[in-house]
Amino acid sequence: MATFPKLKTNAIAQYPVARREQFQNQTVRFVDGSEQRYRDSAGARLEWEIQLSQLDEGELAAIEEFFLARQGAFGSFCFTDPWDGHVYDDCSVAADELPLVTEGEMRGSTKLTVVRNI
Amino acid sequence: MPAYPQLGSGALSQFPVQKNRRVRTVVNQAADGSTIKLADPAGEVTEWQLTYTDLSDEEAAALRAFFVAAEGTLNGFTFLDPAGNLLAWSDQLDQAAWQKDPLLSLTGGISDPRGGAQAWRLSNGGAAEQGAGQTLAAPGEYQYCLSAYVRAATATSVGLTAGSQTARRAVTSEWTRIAWTCSGDAQATSVRFGIEIAPSDAVEVYGLQVEAQTAASGYKASARGGVYEDAHLGDDVLTITSTDVNRHSCTVKIIHANHL
């Protein structure tokens, strides 16, 4: 399986990087006030917001080619959580759009959100 | 097909260049949060926003003339990605996009100057020059920069080709980036760029790149290539602001969609 590209510094992300963890639970409340709760999803939804700047041309092109090769949100890949180094096997880009800005030589930037598929 | 004009400097755009990639995925999300996805390769759209400042009278007139000829968003044209490598499959010389002479043998997986293994060894087993190249549907009269990283076990030289022209560059035992600013054959609607190896020579090559400008920028590995045929202007309006004598500024949007 493909792996999310690393920068030439070997980093996955730059600061700031936001990590969002979301559960999806349901609660049934009975007339006596008691509750029954249950999970309504196959697992926790994990998201990472990756913002990259000061990229050189090769790094920016690698992100772009990776996005196109995955066909946006369709394809899945391995992603290493930049917070703890855990490798998640089945992740995707969240959106079908990738903005790429080149401000100058070796000054590219982009941002994308990675989600763990459940 | 007409092509988007180069500036007097030979560049296609100025910084900043904004590029937006959009693809389309059909997603069926189940109640438990799991998804079933279907890709739509025909739905790929690429947009550029080119911001120009300090254009000369001639450059502004050329942009305006192009806008008038295209009649705004109506007519298609060839656009060369100013932030991309015009060559397709630049790291995979065994792809069909590359035309290889019969006596040239390719060996992949060679260590490259960036620490990977994306370089190729090109060995010429013939008695005449043999090469590999790619034909781009790009205007011949434009200025291009063809560049590559090369090295060889013993010092030699390689030929860089653009159309019918060839330039020789020295190759040493260390990785060196060679570049050649060139044009294709005037009036031609396509240009073949390539690299030629002398008889009985073997040269390792990495990072072949063609850009529609006069100097090489950092190497960008590519799969699709940066020639976009049948691109369109994104607006029916072109506003050119004169900021001083012989100084003009404007913003141009360009869109390329697979399905148009």
The Cα of A100 is separated from the nearest Cα of chain B by a number of Å equal to: 5
Report the complex ipTM.
Answer: 0.83
- Residue A104 with chain B: CB contacts under 8 Å: 15-16
Does residue A3 lie in a domain region? Answer: no
Does residue A81 lie in a domain region? Answer: yes
From first CA to last CA, the distance across chain A in angstroms is 17
> pLDDT in tens for each of the 118 residues of chain A?
899 999 999 999 999 999 999 988 899 999 998 999 999 888 888 999 999 999 999 999 999 999 999 999 999 999 999 999 999 999 999 999 999 999 999 999 999 999 999 8
For chain B, the domains span: 17-82+227-257, 99-211
- B41 lies within 8 A of chain A by CB: yes
The answer on pLDDT for B260 being more than 60 is no
Does residue A10 lie in a domain region? Answer: no
- pLDDT band of B41, cuts 50, 70, 90: confident
CB contact under 8 A, A58 and B38: no
Does residue A11 lie in a domain region? Answer: no
For residue A104, give its domain range. Answer: 18-27+34-116
Q: How many folded domains does chain A comprise?
A: 1
- Residue A113 with chain B: CB contacts under 8 Å: none
pTM for this one?
0.90
The Cα of A105 is separated from the nearest Cα of chain B by a number of Å equal to: 8
Does residue A111 lie in a domain region? Answer: yes
- Range with the poorest average pLDDT among A24-38, B58-72, B109-123: A24-38
- Quickly count: other Cβ atoms within 10 Å of residue B193's Cβ: 23
Option in A42, A62, A74 nearest B221 (CB): A62
Does residue A1 lie in a domain region? Answer: no
CATH, domain range B99-211:
2.60.120.260
- pLDDT band of B31, cuts 50, 70, 90: confident
